[in-house]
Structure 1
């Protein structure tokens, strides 16, 4: 009897415990109740939910904004809770969408006896991402790889698979790395991209005109299922194979294009105003040695003219007016295309000549385009579009004297072609509808007429481009070396102002004479090297192989006083002022720098180029960093007396007056003081002309005289690189 009673008691205890456990499991804990209350308020847009949030949570938190504005969550269920610290719980909830569910965490903490939401689920909004279905997971939840600019993100898709359009740019919202919203962007096939402006937030298409964009448009190329990120606004101008993807408001958000080295219609060159070297023209007059046409493609207008007739385009109230012999023929806000017939050449006339019968420029191959400036309707932008090889016909003789001979000109053709191809992907001139301009800012174009030997050099190297691996090389070139070239990273900073920058394996410091010497970063070694006037250097035929200039203290003070503030304003990270004993900081240069007390080269590159210069005056100590800045600050120009120019003495005995910049940074400084220690004169002795990186043009000439072929010269200046023909194979 006692045994029966004991067993009954035991069974009762078990039943009671089971009931209590069930009640405990069914009845939510305080942290769960806090999350449940919050989600109840959230789904009904009840603002009382803010009372459940800790104060540090912003009322504009992306999770709250998503829930209120798009209301993607239809229901919820508390899944579990777990203590993660004393008085802190992580509560996981299932949020139900219209189709599918996501699991999200909430962090809840107890403060003064009450439970508050401490952290909300994370939300990421991509205005344009490219989804790629991975199909690795079983069931309905599928992994999706998102391409967002240069980044890739693997996320989960709880939505039905047919909601994802594979490889189609889409607006996507993730909550805790799970897709809750996806909207495929609308494709707009572009006929030809003529201009692209990040600042102006538009792309100009030949047929569609200007299309508004978000500004920072990522560009991709897709081959099969392989996606390659090209960059922001990269390589768009001149493209005829692109698709712009727009949101519901018609704003362009991303572009997919074919990955090709060269646009179908060739290179686009910005033609500068010869009067002030500016971008804009107040008006433009054009003639041709054959019949020619002027037309617009949008709201089409077309006129044909006879050879020798002169047309003029001017801004007017309706856009750009077209005139013939002073008579207005038409006006349009759209881009004008001027095209020659039967292989003719167009010429731009000097608007200030009393007679316009003669051209003020060398005739242009290809097409001239005239467009209104984006920010100034009183100015015109002129672009010349022509084939890459024809472009090189006048670049090569403009950049290198034809007396250097065929082999040297071939090397120049390869370097210039390589440079131009890299410019196709640059954003620099895209707002103007061009890849390059016609000045030294890019490559000098059409300043010298086509020369038979230069045309031959281009034709015999047709399509040859320098490659390092599978990338077109950065084919830097300059006039003259001092007998040693410089490392790329010891001349230029990167886009984040890091200096020295990242090394480029084929743009390296190396001797330019048939011997070898120690590195020239040591001051004593460098001085001894520059003092070798009879060095058997490949560049010895250049007048700038060796040079020297002497300036009075006050003359150099005046040059520094003028140029140091200018350089500091343009590159503030590289002109510093000493603060205290050793710290250098960015600071405005004083209006009066005081009396010059010392000049010291504090750092040289492997090839001997000045990298840092300290200037000590009675009003401060200033550090100038990078070779171009140093050359500009030490400009050998007399700003005190224009009748007494500073004289630069060259290797060939010639003298240059008031040279606009120190020829190179391969130089040393001698200071001459009086008996009291005051500076009287400064002599700067150096060698070379230009930045000193890559191919030396005079060195190329010297090597060609020694019997080197253009292939050997190319390998000498760009070691480890290969020549490939871009018109053959996959290029």
Structure 2
């Protein structure tokens, strides 16, 4: 028993020794592994540090090629340019690299230290192990925001409004900023490392806003930065705006400049004071292309003498009554040639102000009803060189502008009440045009053609002036907004919905958004009009004897007949022209669907069919389909349809195309189809080609809002101007604007 116990003890001891040995072997192995890992970690962090240091040394030296060799370039090209540019700044001092560390098996970081305005900062640099070396894989973002709006600075954080977004950043130090400051901010990663408060300068008056420039009355042309921002403030709040909201003629704009360019403007949320309107004067009123917006030479005089000013350069010259001044482009500037005098050169906009009580006369400017004389203009005339042509703008008081719009838009024979209705509609439309900014790139609110309102095509007359003065300041409101009071010559007995005539100016969609006070409505006195289908529209437009307010207009009913060759010549020519002007609204059938695409030189070929695809509630054509031997097309919107289907002779050696009105009047080669309230009769030959086209139509103009002949007819029925306006703009309210 003793020997047995002894043997067992020996065996137990031996087992313990074996276990102890294994334990120490494991411990040793773990120690060795730890040493190996530590050495590997130390080696890796050292290599990370070396890679980051070498990269930053090359960055600090401006060695772009050397830095790029140590950088993964996927998506980092721009970042490297910005990073090198950062350390080229003499106010930024590179201090070194520290804090190298592993963040994964093949990823790491190192802290780049630098000083800005004596403040020490660090940002992390991302690195990755690739094959045999560590390379920089991502750089901290470097951003310079020129023109950011300060919303708040608190608790070491800075909140900025930038490009419509609110940004929250770490502040490298207290900057002492307050709401309303506009700053230039250098941001590295998520830290504003340098902030410069920009000084505000009040713009004298905004005269022009282009895509890349602003023009101040006393400052001249100011370039815009690529990131130009507009801020609207009021009641302690700020909103991001757009350059399109800046109104020509506006005062009180706070301007912020950096490196000579405007980076931001600030405007208070207040209604614009309407004192004057700025009218762009065309070469002539018959050609509505952009080519007539500029002049190659102008000749001006004044019946009482005038003063010519360059307000930027503070130069001024006086000229006597009747002196004829010739103005021409001269490079990027303007040359003024007095009679027998020394040529004067100007680099800026020039202003022509007549001495009281005179007006400025534009010699030789064709205006239909000035009866052999040249048109005279109240207010100021201004000229600027735009791309080698002279842009002529007339700035005139709001009411004086109406003195020649009303007789230019409505015959005096219509009588006082229709003229008063026209004055209110014209005043309302002109006011809304100021905010539309359609001609802001030319320094104007409106032009003098039918694209806006015809202005000064006829001199002032006592009756039209009486209509303006009797309604002075009156406009139509819909709710709190001045109504968009569209008007036109003649209805067919029905007006049109605005949204079925024009596309939405914001979204580009057609039909656009409905306008409650510009709705399709009958203009027939005693009978109900049925426009429920194409057959009903055909019956309505082919019938002449309707008891309509507009019946006395020659255009109440009209018709045109054209041969197949004549209509094909018109369509083949005008389709391409309309596509160039509005490509989204001239569509080609391709692959079973209609899409906007470039048209061939002869798009239609021979005409096979002409179909109305869609009409508005008032009977106006919204979509017209043309089928030819070369293709099938859809023309969208009434203006495109009217310009494509012009009753004009385009064939050489043939007689004019004649428009015949229901009162017996005829017009040759009428420049546009009078309206889109029309139906078509086609005669085809044996091969299916159109041999003759007969168009029956009614009305003249777009058909939206007030019919001028309709207003005349209502006045003859005893309605006054207020009742006329309520009829054509239901739901609006007549109020004083000023």
Report the TM-score range of the alignment, normalised by the length of the smaller protein.
0.7 to 0.9
Mean Cα deviation higher: 391-400 or 64-73: 64-73
Equivalence map 1:12-411=2 (5 Å):
40=53, 43-46=56-59, 50=68, 53-61=71-79, 64=83, 67-70=86-89, 71=92, 98=116, 120-122=139-141, 124-133=143-152, 135=154, 139=155, 141-148=156-163, 151-164=164-177, 166-174=179-187, 178-198=191-211, 201-214=212-225, 217-223=228-234, 225-232=236-243, 234-247=245-258, 249-257=259-267, 262=272, 266-274=276-284, 278-314=292-328, 319-324=334-339, 326-328=340-342, 330-350=344-364, 360-371=373-384, 373-376=385-388, 379-411=389-421
Per the alignment, do residues 351 and 549 of structure 1 end up closer, same or farther by CA in structure 2, a change over 3 Å counting? closer
Structure (1 or 2) with the greater helix fraction: 2
Q: What SS does the corresponding residue of 2:238 show, helix, strand or coil? A: strand
Q: How much has 1:235 moved relative to structure 2?
A: 3.5
Q: How much has 1:389 moved relative to structure 2?
A: 1.0
Q: What SS does the corresponding residue of 2:632 show, helix, strand or coil? A: strand
Cα-to-partner distance string for 1:615-667 (whole Å, 9 max, x where unaligned): 11122222222221111111111222565222222233322222111111121
The equivalent of 2:632 in structure 1 is 621
Equivalence map 1:672-683=2 (5 Å):
672-674=683-685, 677-683=688-694
The equivalent of 1:6 in structure 2 is none
Whole-Å Cα distance in 2 between the matches of residues 596 and 75 of structure 1?
A: 78
Per the alignment, do residues 124 and 480 of structure 1 end up closer, same or farther by CA in structure 2, a change over 3 Å counting? farther
Q: What SS does the corresponding residue of 2:159 show, helix, strand or coil? A: strand
Whether 1:725 and 2:736 are equivalent positions in the alignment is yes
The equivalent of 2:444 in structure 1 is 434
Per the alignment, do residues 241 and 45 of structure 1 end up closer, same or farther by CA in structure 2, a change over 3 Å counting? same
The equivalent of 1:668 in structure 2 is 679
Q: How much has 1:79 moved relative to structure 2?
A: 12
Q: How much has 1:117 moved relative to structure 2?
A: 6.2
The equivalent of 2:563 in structure 1 is 552
Asked if the contact 1:511–1:517 (Cα under 8 Å) also holds between the matched residues in 2, the reply is no
Asked if the contact 1:197–1:215 (Cα under 8 Å) also holds between the matched residues in 2, the reply is no
The equivalent of 1:655 in structure 2 is 666
Q: How much has 1:669 moved relative to structure 2?
A: 1.7
Asked if the contact 1:189–1:243 (Cα under 8 Å) also holds between the matched residues in 2, the reply is yes
Asked if the contact 1:485–1:512 (Cα under 8 Å) also holds between the matched residues in 2, the reply is yes
Asked if the contact 1:31–1:108 (Cα under 8 Å) also holds between the matched residues in 2, the reply is no
The equivalent of 2:500 in structure 1 is 490
Q: How much has 1:95 moved relative to structure 2?
A: 7.7
1:414 to 406, 419, 424: 424
The equivalent of 2:10 in structure 1 is none
Q: How much has 1:720 moved relative to structure 2?
A: 4.2
Whole-Å Cα distance in 2 between the matches of residues 197 and 33 of structure 1?
A: 56
Q: How much has 1:336 moved relative to structure 2?
A: 3.5
Per the alignment, do residues 567 and 332 of structure 1 end up closer, same or farther by CA in structure 2, a change over 3 Å counting? closer
Per the alignment, do residues 209 and 579 of structure 1 end up closer, same or farther by CA in structure 2, a change over 3 Å counting? closer
Asked if the contact 2:301–2:322 (Cα under 8 Å) also holds between the matched residues in 1, the reply is yes
Mean Cα deviation higher: 283-292 or 611-620: 283-292
CA RMSD of aligned residues (A): 4.4
Per the alignment, do residues 604 and 127 of structure 1 end up closer, same or farther by CA in structure 2, a change over 3 Å counting? farther
Equivalence map 1:556-705=2 (5 Å):
556-591=567-602, 593-640=604-651, 644-674=655-685, 677-705=688-716
Asked if the contact 1:546–1:651 (Cα under 8 Å) also holds between the matched residues in 2, the reply is yes
Per the alignment, do residues 350 and 226 of structure 1 end up closer, same or farther by CA in structure 2, a change over 3 Å counting? same
Q: What SS does the corresponding residue of 1:327 show, helix, strand or coil? A: coil
The equivalent of 2:12 in structure 1 is none
Asked if the contact 1:88–1:107 (Cα under 8 Å) also holds between the matched residues in 2, the reply is no
Mean Cα deviation higher: 645-654 or 315-324: 315-324
Whole-Å Cα distance in 2 between the matches of residues 115 and 457 of structure 1?
A: 84
Q: How much has 1:559 moved relative to structure 2?
A: 1.0
Q: How much has 1:130 moved relative to structure 2?
A: 1.8
Whole-Å Cα distance in 2 between the matches of residues 168 and 240 of structure 1?
A: 20
Q: How much has 1:445 moved relative to structure 2?
A: 0.9
Q: How much has 1:322 moved relative to structure 2?
A: 3.8
Whole-Å Cα distance in 1 between the matches of residues 544 and 607 of structure 2?
A: 30
Asked if the contact 2:558–2:660 (Cα under 8 Å) also holds between the matched residues in 1, the reply is yes
Cα-to-partner distance string for 1:229-257 (whole Å, 9 max, x where unaligned): 5531543533343332211x222222334
Q: What SS does the corresponding residue of 2:702 show, helix, strand or coil? A: coil
Q: What SS does the corresponding residue of 2:342 show, helix, strand or coil? A: strand
Q: What SS does the corresponding residue of 2:338 show, helix, strand or coil? A: strand
Whole-Å Cα distance in 2 between the matches of residues 168 and 596 of structure 1?
A: 65
Where in structure 2 are there 5+ consecutive unaligned residues? 1-29
User: Normalized against structure 1, the TM-score is what?
Assistant: 0.81
Q: What SS does the corresponding residue of 2:377 show, helix, strand or coil? A: coil
The equivalent of 1:523 in structure 2 is 534
Per the alignment, do residues 216 and 60 of structure 1 end up closer, same or farther by CA in structure 2, a change over 3 Å counting? closer
Whole-Å Cα distance in 2 between the matches of residues 268 and 588 of structure 1?
A: 38
Cα-to-partner distance string for 1:664-703 (whole Å, 9 max, x where unaligned): 1121222123456443211122222222233332333334
Cα-to-partner distance string for 1:390-439 (whole Å, 9 max, x where unaligned): 11111111112223333332332233223322333444433433222222
Aligned residues: 698
User: Normalized against structure 2, the TM-score is what?
Assistant: 0.80
Q: How much has 1:93 moved relative to structure 2?
A: 7.5
Asked if the contact 2:46–2:100 (Cα under 8 Å) also holds between the matched residues in 1, the reply is no
